Each structure stands twice: as structure tokens, then as C-alpha cells.
Chain A
Amino acid sequence: MSDELDITGGITRMESAFGSGDGDQDAQATVAQKAEIKGAIFEQSYRPWRGTLGPRWVRNYSIYRHHVYGLFTSKGHRHYPIMVRLTILGIFLFSLSPVAMLFLASMGGNGDFGEVLSRLWGINRYNLWGQVLGFFPRNMCMWPLLTALVVGGMISDDRSNGTSAIYFSRPVNRIDYTAMKFLSSAVVLGFVIVFSYILYYTGAIVFRGEGWAFLIDTFPMFLGGLLAGLLLVLTYTSIGLALSSISQSRFFAGVAFLATIYGTKMVAFLIESQFDSSILYIFSPYDVLAHIGQWLLGIESNYDHSLAFSVVSLLLMNGISIALLASRVSSLEVTRE
């Protein structure tokens, strides 16, 4: 081959076949990912937050909402198992049964059927007392079970899951925490117990077409029953929360509450039947409330002992429960549980 032979710019057979020499050297492949971030799943970057924190009531309302809304929707709020929610719904519907009977009575017109239903379920002192404080079925099957289900895990869950740290490492103080837990429980119990009582009374007025005279006659009784209902809600909540605060198990707290209500009643009943004395009923939360409720509604007392014993006992029960609750909540830890 001579030295003069110039081969620059020539095309090889390979380049002719695959076209890789004519401008292809500048070509760029389009790929889905840049080579330098190969293997990275996400890019971690810290983003600041420039918002402002709300005041104390905002924090407290969030505690209240978390516990109460959870009953209606578990999404995003405290989780109540479906069976608990169904049981509470069942109790609520059953507590409204007198309203249904009054509705039936109103449908029966002036006939015997309507008259019988009205006499059995209509508004009077005994029925108003029974709607809140009757032992069977309400205080035997419904209210204690409702309290055990709602209040049982209210604080014990925080103790067992360690979630107390989430509260107390934030600007939530122990008084607010306890007060909001108390309020949340009382609102749920109140919704079932007191609201059903109010519906019963208003239902009677609406279904029977009662007028002002009826209202004037019965309203004081209604208020007495309302106060008795509120006392029941407060007392059951105090005792239930105190039991919840001393345990790490919602089951223990619930069963302990049922045992307290039924056990004290049973012991007092046995003593009364053997020794003909009702004094031990002052240890039974239900009977103390029933006694005071009878006085508030102006009906004859079932108990031999003085009302003052029941009043003092009620104050002591609530006082001891709240003292125990406060003491146990103050022991909830942030750094270790």
C-alpha cells in the first residue's frame, strides 16, 4: 500500500451495515432514570413546617374527638372493635324501646290496646326513674356493660401500649388528659343513658300530643330523673376510669367494673335477706344512685337507711375514684412504662 493512500473518511463494512458512523456517534439514548441516581428508591429531603400551634383548647378538643369519633368511625380515631360498637348500638336501641311502645300506643288510638300500652310505658314518676335507674334490665344488663366497654380501655390502653408518652411529651398536662378522657367517656355514656331518657320524655309528649298542663305537671319529675341520670353517668365514669387507670388491660378494667356493680349489690342483697338491714347497700354504687334517684323523683324509697348515708357514700365513691384516677395518671411515664 502506498504512503499517499488516504483512507480518512472511509466507511467500514460494519459501519455500512449498521449505520453506526454517520452521525450516530452524537446520538443519545433515552432512558427512564439517570445513571447517577440508580438504585435510589426515593430522595430523602427534610421539609420544614412554618405553621403555628393552636392553644390549649385545640389540643384538648383533639383528645376528646379522638375518643368520641372513634365510636362512629374507627378511621383515624380511637379503634373500638366492631362487636363493641354493635353492642353499644344494641344497648342504645334497646334503651329506646319505651319510645317505640309509646309510638305503638299512639297508633292504637283510644282503644284498650293503646290504653294498656300508655299505662305501662307512659310518663310517670316510676317510669322516669326506671328509664335511668331500674335494675332490670337497664342496670343489670345495659349500663354497666356499656360502661365496661367504653371506659375499660380508656387509660389502660395508654398504659399497655405506652401511648401515654405521646400525650405527656407534648404540651398536654395530666389534668387536661384526665379531664378529656373523663369527658369523652361521660359523653358516650350520656349519649346512650341521658339522651335516651330525653328522647323517651319528648317522645311521650309528641306521640300523645300532650300540652302545657302535662309539661307543667311532669317537667319537675323529668328534671329529677335527668339529674339522677347525670349522677349515674358521672359515678359510673369515675369508677370505670379509676379501674382503667390501675390496670394495663381493658378486660380487667371492664370485668372489675362489672364485679364492683354486681358484687356489692349481691352482698348487700344477701345481708338484707338474712339480717333484714339495708345499710350495706351504701357500698353498692347502683343502690346509692337508686336511693338518691327515688328521692329526686319523689317516689317511695326501697331502703330503710337514711338518704344521708347514700349521699355521703356517693360523694365518697366519686371522691375516692377521682383521687385514685389522679394518682395513677400522675404515675404514667414518658420515658419508660
Chain B
Amino acid sequence: MAPESTPLPLIEARALRKLYGPHLALEDVNLAIPHGATGLLGPNGAGKSTLFKCILGLIKATSGDGHVLGHDMRTEGHLIRSKIGYMPEYDSLDPGLNAIDQVRYSGELLGMNSSAATQRAHEVLEYVGLKDQRYRKIETFSTGMKQATKLACALIHDPEILICDEPTNGLDQRARNFMLQTLRRTVTDGGRSVIMSSHVMDDVQEVCDRIVMIHKGKIVVEGKIDELVSQVESEIEISVWGGASEMESQLVSMGMPVRRLGRNMRVSKSSEETYSKIMEAASLCGVQVRKMSDYEPDLEDIFLLIMDRLGEEVKGTDDLMTDEHRGLPV
């Protein structure tokens, strides 16, 4: 049987290194991002923004090389940026403009002529759910509508790659769901590729099928989410009533590693006997086990596991989020 041909990666970097003075922002980054949706994860200051800037050809790497859609990152930034749609994390809209004019102008800045940009602006604003609000001034928009306008600006020229920096920042549940659905649809229906960074693992898991995790300028994990999840060891989740601390001590003394959050605990599942061992521990401590089930690990677990192995004190991705990420006034 002939070997399955692997499509060329859209983004490829080899030994990419970026120094800002003495500060090492990217350290020997080797990367190959194929077509599809990829999540870029990492704590604040990990180097995500620097990597985005390198991909967009805005800064030159100190050493190493890379290609985006076949163009050299170091010398063909302008060609790369005409094929990429970038949705910035922070406000990047002129509050005095209508949504339609803002999106049209962003198309003109790419080189679209005015009439084509206007026509396309109508299409993309409809796509992002702002058809009825397109003649409203941006200063009257909610955060969700502003995020949608930024997405429309990024999509106006039908880019091959859409880079979204924290696309769900400050969105309520409904707007967040719509944003994620739109990004997913851009991949499935539009056939485009999406690279999104986010601190919210659920968001990444909902849109992306691959992740790249970056930490202190290094790529620590890269791969398909499904494959990574299958590598995480199984756990049993239990909920106990009365004497949770005693139960925890008992389980540890019986050689079973435990992660505890209040009355809920997760016990490493070494074999099928773990169930009976848990019941035995409960019996010895005199506590009730009110719930016991296999725990399905998700992206959050992968992230925490990796952070733990890297020696980072992160209890949850919530630790990485600022008030701005949560949509609270700052």
C-alpha cells in the first residue's frame, strides 16, 4: 500500500529564536502547523505574541527560519500579511466609524478596491451576525459586537489563515458560543485554517483539533488534542461525605495518589481494583462515597499536567486570566 501523502504544513518554523536585548522570547521553536484549527496555549509572557509577530512577519527572528504559506517569515512579511487575517486581542476599531465602514476600510488597507471592499464588508458582517447592526457606530457596540467586527475585519479578504488572539475575551455565554461556532464554521464550511490563542481551554477544545503549547519561549507540547488526551492517565472521580481529609490521608497511605478539591477527589486508576480499594478506604475512614465514576480528561487537565511537570504553580487556567479576559471592568 502506498504511504499516505502528508500535506505541507501552512506554517513551518525551524530553530526560531528571538531575543529582545538579553531577554529570550523564543527559544529554538520548531513548529509545523497543518491545515485546520490549532490552539496556541501558554501562560502570560510565554511568547505567544512574539510567535504571532514572527508568523505575521512583523519582527525578524534573531536566528532560525520559517515559512508561512510558502513565504519566508523574515523577508516576505507583506506577502504573508496579505494572506492572513489577524484578529487582535485588544480594541482595534475606530469608535467614530460605522461597522460597515470600518470593515470596508480594513479591506482597502489590504489593497481591495472600494466597491469590492464594500460588497465583501456586507457579506462578512452578515456572516459574523452583524447584518442588522452594520450601519451603527462602533462606539455604541457591546464587547461581543466589537469582537465580531474585528473578526469581520480579519475575514474581509477571505484569508487562508485566520489568527485570533483571545477571540472570546470579555464575551458573555451567548456571544462566546456564537464566536466559537463562527470560528469552527470558518474551518469546516469555509475550508480556512484558524489559529487561536486563548486561556479558556473549553474554547480551544470546542474549535481546535490540535494544540501548540508554549512556555517560556519553548514549544512544550504540539499535537492533536485527542491523541494528547489519550496519553493522560485515567482517574476515578469520587465525591465523599464526612471526613474528606481522613479519606484523602487513607488513600495516600494506601499508595493511591489523590487530587482533592473539597469533597471531590480524583484518584489515579492503576487497575480495575482501584474501585474496591477506594471503597475499602471509605469503609476504614467511615465516610460515605456518594459518587464514583471514571473521569474523562480534557484539555484543561493536559494543560495543568504540563504546567505541573514544568514546575508552575497553576491550579487552573483561571489563574492565568485577568479581569479583562473575564470581561470585568478594569
A48 at the A/B interface (Cβ < 8 Å)?
Answer: yes
- For residue A25, CB closer than 8 A to chain B, the reply is no
Residues of chain A lying within 8 A (CB to CB) of residue B79 = 171
CB under 8 Å from chain B, chain A span 18-52: 42, 44-51
Residue numbers in A under 8 Å from B126 (CB-CB): 42
Contacts of A45 in B (CB 8 A): 127, 189
Partner of A53, one of B82, B89, B190: B82
Q: Decide yes or no: A53 and B157 within 8 Å by CB, A171-B79, A172-B109, A334-B53 being known contacts.
A: yes
For residue A75, CB closer than 8 A to chain B, the reply is yes
In-complex Cβ contact of B88 among A53, A79, A162, A173 (8 A): A162
The smallest beta-carbon distance between B97 and chain A, in angstroms, is: 7
Contact with A along B153-196 (1 / 0, CB 8 A): 10011100000010000000000000001100110011010000
In the assembly, what is the distance between CA of A282 and CA of B206, in Å?
A: 65
Per-position binary interface string of chain A over residues 38-72, scored 1 when its CB falls under 8 Å from any chain B CB and 0 otherwise: 00001011111111011110110011001000000
**In the complex, what distance in Å separates the CA atom of A149 from the CA atom of B89?**
30
**Bound: A88/B58 CA distance, A:** 37
B129 touches A44 (CB 8 A): yes
A170 B109 Cβ-Cβ under 8 A: yes
Q: Which residues of A contact B56 (CB under 8 A)?
A: 169, 334
Smallest beta-carbon distance B160→chain A, Å: 11
Question: In the assembled complex, which residues on chain B have CB atoms less than 8 Å from the CB atom of A168?
Answer: 58
The answer to whether B186 touches A335 (Cβ under 8 A) is: no
B101 within 8 A of A: yes
User: In the bound complex, how far is the Cα of B89 from the Cα of A59, in angstroms?
Assistant: 24
Q: Are A46 and B189 in contact (CB under 8 A)?
A: yes
Task: Pick from B5-13, B111-119, B295-303, B311-319 the stretch touching chain A.
Answer: B111-119
Q: Are B112 and A169 in contact (CB under 8 A)?
A: no
**In the complex, chain B residues whose CB is within 8 Å of the CB of A166:** 92-93, 105-106, 109, 153
- The answer to whether A44 touches B108, judged by C-beta atoms less than 8 angstroms apart, is no
A146 CA to B97 CA in the complex, in Å? 23
On chain A, the residues within 8 Å of B81 by CB distance are 169-171
Q: Which residues of A lie under 8 Å from residue B58 when comparing CB positions?
A: 168-169, 334
Task: Quote the shortest CB–CB distance from B96 to chain A (angstroms).
Answer: 3
A76 and B82: CB pair below 8 A?
no
Residue among A75, A161, A164 making CB contact with B95, cutoff 8 Å = A161
CB within 8 Å of B: which A110-169 residues:
157, 161-169
B27 within 8 A of A: no
Provide the residues of chain B in CB contact with A76, threshold 8 Å. 97-98, 101, 104-105
Q: Which of A46, A167, A169, A172 has the most CB of B within 10 A?
A: A169
Whether B127 and A59, one on each chain, are in contact in the complex, defined by CB atoms closer than 8 angstroms, is: no
Q: Is B49 an interface position by the 8 A CB rule?
A: yes
Interface size on A, residues (CB 8 A): 42
CB distance from B149 to the nearest CB of A (A): 11
- Known contacts A169-B86, A334-B53; A163/B120 CB under 8 A: no
Contact A79 B94 (CB under 8 A): yes
Closest Cβ of chain B: how far from A248's Cβ, in Å? 12
Known A-B contacts A46-B190, A47-B123, A79-B96; A335 and B165 likewise in contact (beta carbons under 8 Å): yes
Report the separation of the CA atoms of residues A75 and B97 in the bound assembly, to the nearest whole angstrom: 8
B263 within 8 A of A: no
A-chain residues with CB within 8 Å of residue B110 when the two chains form the complex = 53, 59, 170-171
Checking A42, A66, A162, A335 against B91 with a beta-carbon cut-off of 8 angstroms, the contacting residue is A162
- Determine the chain A residues whose CB is within 8 A of the CB of B88 once the complex forms: 162, 165, 169, 334-335
Q: Which of B106, B108, B158 contacts A49 (CB 8 A)?
A: B158
A337: interface (CB < 8 Å) = yes
B105 contacts across to A, CB distance below 8 A: 62, 66, 76, 166
Q: Which chain B residue has the least Cβ–Cβ distance from A81?
A: B96
Whether, in the assembled complex, A336 has its beta carbon less than 8 Å from a beta carbon of chain B, the answer is yes
CA A53 to CA B110, docked complex, whole Å: 7
Report A-chain residues with C-beta under 8 Å of the C-beta of B97. 76, 79
The residue among A56, A62, A168 with the most chain B CB atoms within 10 A of its own CB is A62
A172–B84 alpha-carbon span in the complex (Å): 13
Cβ–Cβ contact B101 & A48, under 8 A: no
Decide if A336 touches B82 in the complex (CB within 8 Å): no
Flag if B82 contacts A49 (CB, 8 Å): no
Q: Which of the residues A46, A49, A79, A171 comes within 8 Å of B186, measured between beta carbons?
A: A46
Instruction: For the complex formed, measure the closest distance between the CB of A126 and the CB atoms of chain B, giving whole angstroms.
Output: 43
Residue of A nearest to B116 (CB): A51
Q: Is the CB of A157 within 8 A of B94?
A: yes
Min distance, Cβ B34 to any Cβ of chain A, angstroms:
20
Can you list 7 A-B contacts with CB-CB less than 8 angstroms, sorted by A residue number? A49-B120, A50-B158, A51-B116, A62-B105, A162-B92, A165-B86, A335-B53
